Structure 1
Amino acid sequence: MDRSISIKMLPFASLTMLFFAKGMDKEIRPELKAVYKCLPVCYLIYYAISNLKDSKKSKDYSKKIATGLVLSVIGDACIVWPKLFIPGALAYILAHGAYASSFGWKPLFLKTGIVLYSVVLTTVSAMVTQLSTVLILAIIIYALLLTTMLWRAFARYIDSPNLWKLSALSGALLFLTSDIIFGIHLSYFQIPHAEFVIMAIYYGAQLCIALSCGEIVSLKKEA
C-alpha cells in the first residue's frame, strides 16, 4: 500500500484512541458516547469520498463503500441506546448490503456462497435460541446480509487477487469475528472487556473495507 495512506489514517487512529479513552467511560452521557463512537467511521467516510475519481468504476465503488460507512455510523449511534437496537441492526443490514453490492456479483462462485451461508447460519441458529422472536428475526436477517458481503468479498478476491481486494476480504472476516464475539457475549457467557474487544475488531473491519477504495488510486498511478 502507498505510504501516504499511513499518514492519511493517522486521524482515524487518533479518533479511535479517543473513543477508547473517553467514549467507554461508564459515567459518560449516551449522547457524548455516540459522538465519540461515530467519529472514527466518519473519518473513513471522508477517506472513501476523497477517493472518488473520474472513472465510473471508481465512483461506483467508492460511493457504495461510503454509503455503507454512513449506514454504519447510523447503526453505531442507534445501538448506544438499547431501545434503538432494532433500528441500529437495520442500519447495519443495509450497510452490509451496500458493501456486498460494491464487491459485485460476477463471477458468482455459488459453491463458496453455499458453504458460507451454511456455516454462518448454523452458528447463528445455535446462538439465538434464548432471545425474543423479534431479535431472532433481526439477527438472522443481519447474518444473511453479513454472509452475502463476506461471500462477495471472497469471490472478488479469488477471481483476481491483489492487496486491496485482500483488504476488503479482511474487513469482511473481521466483521464476522466481532459479531461472533458479540453473540457469545450476549447468549452464552460474559467476555471480559467485551466492548473493547468487539469495538477494536469492528474498527479494524471498517478500516480494511475503507482502504479497499485505494485500489483505484493504485491502478491509476501504475497506468
Structure 2
Amino acid sequence: MDILETHAYDRRQRRNMSCALFLSLLPFFLAAALYFYMGAHDWPASITSAGVKSAPTLLLAAVVLSWNGGQSILGVVGGLIFSAVGDCCLVWPELFLHGMGAFAVAHLLYSLTFLSSRYATYTSSSWTRLLYLILFMFGGGFYTYLFPFLKKAPDSHLLIPGVGIYIVLIIVMGMLAIRTRHISTLLGSLSFMVSDLSLALQVFKVTAPTVHGNTFVMVMYYLAQLLIAVGDVKAVENKDDFAKWKRT
C-alpha cells in the first residue's frame, strides 16, 4: 500500500509540475503568436522587428531560469540568450555572420548542458551509434551540397569555414541530444536542424524564395527552442527516475 501511495504521489507531483510549467510558458506562446499574427518577418529591419522576433526566445530563457536557477545561465538559459542575439542579428542581412556566430555559441552551450550531470547518463547502444553515424554523414553531405553555393557568396572566404564549423557544432549538439534519450531534447535538436537547413537553402539561394518559407523556418525554430527548454526543465525529474530504476 505504501508503494502504491508513493507512486500516486509521484503522479500527482508530475501532473502539478506539468500544469505549472504550461502556465509559465503562456507568455512564450502569446509572444510567438503575436510574431506570426503581425507578420513581423515581413517588416523592414528595425529595432522593433528585432525585439518582436527575439521576445519568445527571451521569455523561454526566463522560464528556464525561474525553474532551474542561476546555474542554467551557462547552459540552456545562456543558449537561449545567445539565440535571441542571433535572432536580432538575422533581421539585418549584413549581420548574418554575427548571427551565425551567436547561434554557434548557443549550440555549444546546449551541448555542454547535455553532457552535464543534470541529465541521466546511458551507455551507448548499437542503434544510438547508428544514429550518430547518420547525423554525421548527413552533416557532411549537406555541407558538400552547399559548398558550390557558398563559393558564390560575397563573403565566401568567411562563409566556407564558418558554415563548416557551424554544421559540426549543430551535429554534435544533435548527437548529444540523442545521448540524453529525452524525447523533448531530441525532437528539439532535430527541429533546430530542420529550421537551419531550410534557412540555409534560402539564404544561399539553393532554392527559390517561397511565400511561406520564412514562416516554416520560424515555426520549426520556436518549436526547437520550446522543446529544448522543456527538456531542460524536466531533466532532473527524468534523472531521478533513472536513478530509482537503477536501484531496483
Instruction: Place the TM-score, normalised by the shorter chain, in its bin.
Output: 0.7 to 0.9
CA contact (8 A) 1:72 1:95 kept: yes
CA contact (8 A) 1:23 1:36 kept: no
SS in 2 for 1:79: helix
For residues 50-80 of structure 1, give each alpha carbon's deviation from its aligned partner in whole angstroms, at most 9, with x where no partner exists: 1225xxxxx6557401011111011111111
SS in 2 for 1:204: helix
SS in 2 for 1:49: helix
Instruction: Provide the rounded CA distance (Å) in 2 between the counterparts of 1:4 and 1:88.
Output: 33
Equivalent residues in 2 for 1:184-199, closer than 5 Å: 184-186=201-203, 187-199=206-218
1:155 pairs with 2:179: yes
SS in 1 for 2:68: coil
Pairwise CA distance, 1:11: 0.7
1:84 pairs with 2:95: yes
User: What does residue 14 of structure 1 align with?
Assistant: 30
Equivalent residues in 2 for 1:1-223, closer than 5 Å: 2-22=18-38, 24=40, 26-52=42-68, 60=71, 63-104=74-115, 107=123, 112-131=131-150, 132=153, 133=156, 134-157=158-181, 165-186=182-203, 187-216=206-235, 218=237
CA contact (8 A) 1:167 1:211 kept: yes
Give the direction of change, closer, same or farther, for the CA distance of 1:138–1:220 in structure 2 (3 Å limit): closer
Give the direction of change, closer, same or farther, for the CA distance of 1:40–1:110 in structure 2 (3 Å limit): same
**After TM superposition, what 4+ stretches of structure 1 lie above 6 angstroms from structure 2?**
220-223
Instruction: Provide the rounded CA distance (Å) in 1 between the counterparts of 2:147 and 2:167.
Output: 11
Q: State which structure, 1 or 2, has the greater radius of gyration over its C-alpha atoms.
A: 2
Q: How many residues align?
A: 211
Instruction: Provide the rounded CA distance (Å) in 2 between the counterparts of 1:25 and 1:216.
Output: 33
Q: Under a length normalisation based on structure 2, what TM-score does the superposition of the two structures give? A: 0.76
Q: Which moved more, 1:187-196 or 1:75-84?
A: 187-196
CA contact (8 A) 1:23 1:33 kept: no
Instruction: Provide the rounded CA distance (Å) in 2 between the counterparts of 1:98 and 1:43.
Output: 18
The alignment yields a C-alpha RMSD, in angstroms, of 2.5
Give the direction of change, closer, same or farther, for the CA distance of 1:111–1:217 in structure 2 (3 Å limit): closer
Q: Under a length normalisation based on structure 1, what TM-score does the superposition of the two structures give? A: 0.84
In structure 1, stretches of 5+ residues that fail to align are 54-58, 158-164
In structure 2, stretches of 5+ residues that fail to align are 1-13
Pairwise CA distance, 1:18: 1.2
Instruction: Provide the rounded CA distance (Å) in 2 between the counterparts of 1:216 and 1:146.
Output: 20
